[in-house]
Structures are given as structure tokens and as C-alpha cells.
Amino acid sequence: MEIKVSNDVKNLSVDVIVINMFEGEKTSQDLANTYAIDRDKFEGKLGQTYLLQTYGQIPAQKILVTGCGKRDEFGENEVRTAVYKSVKKLQQMHAKTAAFDFETGFDYGKSAAIGAMLADYAFDKYKSEKATRVDEIIFGNVLEDSVNAGKSFGNAMKLTRDLANEPAAFATPSKLAEIAQNLEGITTEIYDKDEIERMGMGAFLAVSKGSIQPPKFIHMKYTGKNVKKKIAIIGKGLCFDSGGMDLKPPSSMLTMRDDMSGAACVLGVMSVLKDFNPDVEVHGIIAACENMASGSAYKPGDILTAKNGKTIEVDNTDAEGRLTLADALVYACELGVHEVIDIATLTGACMVALGTSVAGIMGNDDEMMHKIIETGKNLGEKFWQLPMYKEYFNSLKSDIADMKNTGSRYGGASAAGVFLQEFVKDVKWAHIDIAGTAFLEKPESEFIKGATGAGVRTILSYILNS
Ligand code: BES
Ligand code: MG
Ligand code: ZN
């Protein structure tokens, strides 16, 4: 789908002109007012649509009226929803070209472009019959720059979703490394198994041992012109999580190609930084590997030494994400950055606690967490802070090592949080658990089933506002 901008959308001869209607108000088209409001009592609730034929009265063949709800409740999230629903309707109608003549009272371009691209998304690469798409969308009454910003957000999300949707046979650690190396405006360093070992990343290395896919430690870097702040973003990069020797049951394993959604988010964000040229230094870090059960796999009872020298008794090989993140966190803290954000499909417990539309957030700096939570609000991403009391560490105590990688079944998301904190030093840090939000087993709000691109909008925006 192509997205364009025009300052004369009213007179374009497109298949459909899309206008908006606030509840209890008239639209900008007399024709629509006559049919939608006077005759059919169309209410204009958010996301409702009403279609009418124009029979040559205006250049467009049809008018689609999209409900925007109450004017005083209308903001960025509502724009995105309204455009998303409109594009979904256009797809159903098999429309190929459409112009949006929304009157909103503000520059709605960025959210509109994001909504349109979310609606356009399908993972149909492997299907003979492709999804129905609108070829061209033109937005009126917007600034081109804001539409372009929205397109970059949309592109970042698309890359993230594609990678997380891809089978593990495609999105291997080596593939992620290759993608990282080819990003525009980014310099990338890839560390192979031997170097991972030399760097002392005993926890990450152990997780990777059961797979024939070699691990890759990926370090991307973006450098702005006048660097004001340095941030590292770390994504959990488990290209497949079978659970290792403490193997997952089939129903839990089925979607575990998504266990690199954090890594995919980092790649998505890094891929579009060049579009914005922010005055920051951004490090994108991924410890990529697979967690497999095999003769060479790490085992329950093994004792691992992480990069900071701390020892970990393996209690359950399925709690592998925190092991890979432990070494990545130590590495990131040594870069001299001001802030570190890690994003990970880390715990089923977080999914149980918060469901599929809210991500968990933990960390050591309330202001930073608050800022991340606030950033997400206008972008349609929700976070909820989970506790990190020291009591959560009690169940991680080990008789023979500095800690175990798992403890009590209860409070699992927080236990993972306090585990990770052992590897954070002298830096502001936030941990985002997207186990529930990264991959949907059925369609929900603005997402088809599968990968959602969780975290991309918020982390990208957070970086741009830094
Ligand atoms: N990748 C999983 C977490 C997960 C679960 C992500 C469901 C998405 C959906 C993680 O590696 C894992 O297996 N965690 C275990 C930890 C347990 C062994 C302490 C879990 O949550 O069951
Ligand atoms: Mg696991
Ligand atoms: Zn995992």
C-alpha cells in the first residue's frame, strides 16, 4: 500500500472518499448528511462505518463515513482506530484507491499512517492467495512530515512482526545477524561462539549449546549528530524456545518461534532511526540463539558463570531468556550508556497476570518507567508496573551458587525481574515483559493473529523524545 498526502482530496477521482463523523455532529459532505444522518440515523460511534454511492455527484464513486465517537474524546488513539477500521472496510469492499478527508481539528497524519499500515499488515508470504489490499491511500488536511513519521513507525512494526511471524527455520540467529548487518545508518558488530566464550558470557552460551544453530551476539549502533544521551536497548532473541531439557508441552511450544519478539522489536526500532536522525546514541543488543533439547544441551543442575562473574544454578532450562539477558545486560552496562531498556517474551506468569493487551514493566528508576508508560499511552501501548521487592529473590537462593534461575511458581514475572537486576550496574534500567502482548493466538483490537510488534511504537518514540 502506498500512502500519500494531498491538499485537495475533495476532488480526487478515487474509488472511495473517506470522511469522518463525530457523534451528534454533521459531516463535511451534504450528501452524507442527507443519507447517513437524516435518513439512516448513523450514530458515528468510534469505528462504525457507513457507505453510500455518489452516482456522479462528486468525482469519487463512493463515500465511506467513519464514526469517530465524541469530539472531546477524540485523540491520537481514536484517529488510529478510525483509520484502521476504515481501511479494513475498504479492503472488504475491494477498493483500490481511497482519499481521507477527515476534519479533526489537529494534524492527524502520524496516527493515521500508523493505523493504515496496521490495517494493511498481513503475513501472507507463504500463501498462494494473497490478502486483499488497498493500493493507494491519500490523506488530506495533514502535514507530510507527520505522515512520513507515521510511515516509519509502520515500517518498523512491519519488520518486527514479519520477523516474529517467520518460522524458526527462517529467522535463525544467523539470519537476525545478517539483517542487523544490513540496516541503513547503523554499524553492526557480530560476535560468534568463540568470542562469546572469550567475553565470558557463560549463561548465554549455555542456553545455545543444545542447538546446531550457532549463537550470535549482535551489537548494533546508531550515532546521532549531537549526542545528548546514550541508550541501550536489548531484545530477548530466542529464535526458538523448546524449553530445552525441561521441555515444554506441545501446546506451549507451538508459538515459541515468537520468543525473539524482543529482538525483532530492537531490529524494527534500529531500522528506522535513520528516518529521524535523533541526537542520541542508541545501542541495539541481541543475544540470539535457540533453546533446544539434545545431547549437547545444558542441563538442570548445571552451574553457569555470567559475564559479571556471578554464578547461576540451572533450576529449569526453560527459564533461558533471563540467562541470555543476564550476559547482554552486563555487556550493555559496560558501554557507559545512561539508560538500558530490555524487552523480552520472558514469563508466562506476566501473561497470566496482565493478559494479552498490557505489558509488564519493572526497573530501578521510577521516573524512567513512568516516562515509558506515558509514552505508550498515545500510541496504543499499555504497560503496568510490577513489583521488584527483595522478597522475590528469596526463592532464587541457591545452596551451591549465587542464585538459581527459577524459584517459586508464584510471582514469576517479578522473580524474573529481580533475577535480571543482579546483572545491572550503575545505570538506569527498565525491563519490559511482552510475553502476553507480542503474539496473539486470535485477532484482537488492531491486530490480526500472530505477531503484534509489541514495544516498537513506545521504544521508538521514547528514543525520539530523549
Ligand atoms: N519464552 C517463555 C515465556 C513465554 C511464555 C513467552 C508464554 C510467551 C508466552 C520463557 O522462556 C519460559 O519458558 N518461561 C517459563 C519460566 C519458568 C520455567 C520459570 C514460564 O514462563 O513458564
Ligand atoms: Mg523458556
Ligand atoms: Zn523463552
Q: Taking residues 48-72, what's their average pLDDT?
A: 95
Q: What is the reported pLDDT for 412?
A: 98
Task: Give the number of the atom of ligand 1 that is nearest the alpha carbon of residue 320.
Answer: 11
CA-closest candidate to residue 348, choices 456, 241, 235, 459:
241
CA geometry: angle 455, 458, 463, nearest 5 deg: 115
Q: Is the pLDDT of residue 341 over 90?
A: yes
Q: Whole-angstrom Cα distance, residue 254 to residue 268?
A: 24
| Residues bordering ligand 2, an ion, CB closer than 5 Å | 241, 318, 320
Which cell numbers in the block locate residue 327? 550476559
Mean pLDDT of the residues in the chain: 98
Pairing of strands 62-67, 229-241: unpaired
Query: Phi/psi zone of residue 418: left (φ > 0), alpha (ψ -120 to 50 degrees), beta?
Result: alpha
Q: What's the CA-to-centroid distance between 58 and ligand 1, angstroms? A: 56
Q: Is the pLDDT of residue 25 over 90?
A: yes
Q: Whole-angstrom Cα distance, residue 206 to residue 332?
A: 19
Q: Whole-angstrom Cα distance, residue 283 to residue 227?
A: 13
Q: Whole-angstrom Cα distance, residue 231 to residue 283?
A: 6
Q: Is the pLDDT of residue 11 over 90?
A: no
Q: Is the pLDDT of residue 84 over 90?
A: yes
Ligand 1 near 406 CB (within 6 A): yes
With bands split at pLDDT 50, 70 and 90, how would you rate the model's confidence at 216? very high
Q: What is the reported pLDDT for 99?
A: 98
Q: Is the pLDDT of residue 348 over 90?
A: yes
Q: What's the CA-to-centroid distance between 12 and ligand 1, angstroms? A: 52
Residue among 346, 404, 409, 439 to mutate when testing ligand 1 (max atoms within 8 A of CB): 346
> Do the beta carbons of residue 46 and residue 79 sit within 8 Å?
no
Q: What is the reported pLDDT for 244?
A: 98
E strands, 150-224, in order: 187-191, 216-223
Q: Whole-angstrom Cα distance, residue 87 to residue 95?
A: 9
Q: Whole-angstrom Cα distance, residue 341 to residue 327?
A: 14
Number of H helices, E strands in the chain: 14, 19
> Do the beta carbons of residue 398 and residue 392 sit within 8 Å?
no
Q: Of the listed 248, 274, 310, 382, which one is catalytic?
A: 248
Residues in a beta bridge with 20: 66
The SS3 assignment for 318 reads coil
Q: Is the pLDDT of residue 27 over 90?
A: yes
Report how far apart, in Å, the C-alpha atoms of 115 and of each of 54, 156, 460 are. Answer: 26, 13, 16
322 is catalytic: yes
Q: Which residue has the cell 550457532?
A: 214
- Residues 171-212 pLDDT 10s: 999 999 999 999 999 999 999 999 999 999 999 999 999 999
With bands split at pLDDT 50, 70 and 90, how would you rate the model's confidence at 448? very high
Q: What's the CA-to-centroid distance between 346 and ligand 1, angstroms? A: 6
> Do the beta carbons of residue 319 and residue 237 sit within 8 Å?
no
Q: What is the reported pLDDT for 145?
A: 98
Q: Whole-angstrom Cα distance, residue 69 to residue 25?
A: 10
Q: What is the reported pLDDT for 89?
A: 98
Query: Phi/psi zone of residue 302: left (φ > 0), alpha (ψ -120 to 50 degrees), beta?
Result: beta
Ligand 1 near 15 CB (within 6 A): no
Q: What is the reported pLDDT for 123?
A: 98
Which one-letter DSSP state was computed for residue 414? Answer: H
Q: Whole-angstrom Cα distance, residue 1 to residue 114?
A: 12
Q: Is the pLDDT of residue 34 over 90?
A: yes
Q: How many CB atoms lie within 10 A of CB 199?
A: 17
Percent pLDDT > 90 in the chain is 98
Q: Whole-angstrom Cα distance, residue 260 to residue 277?
A: 26
- Residues 410-430 pLDDT 10s: 999 999 999 999 999 999 999
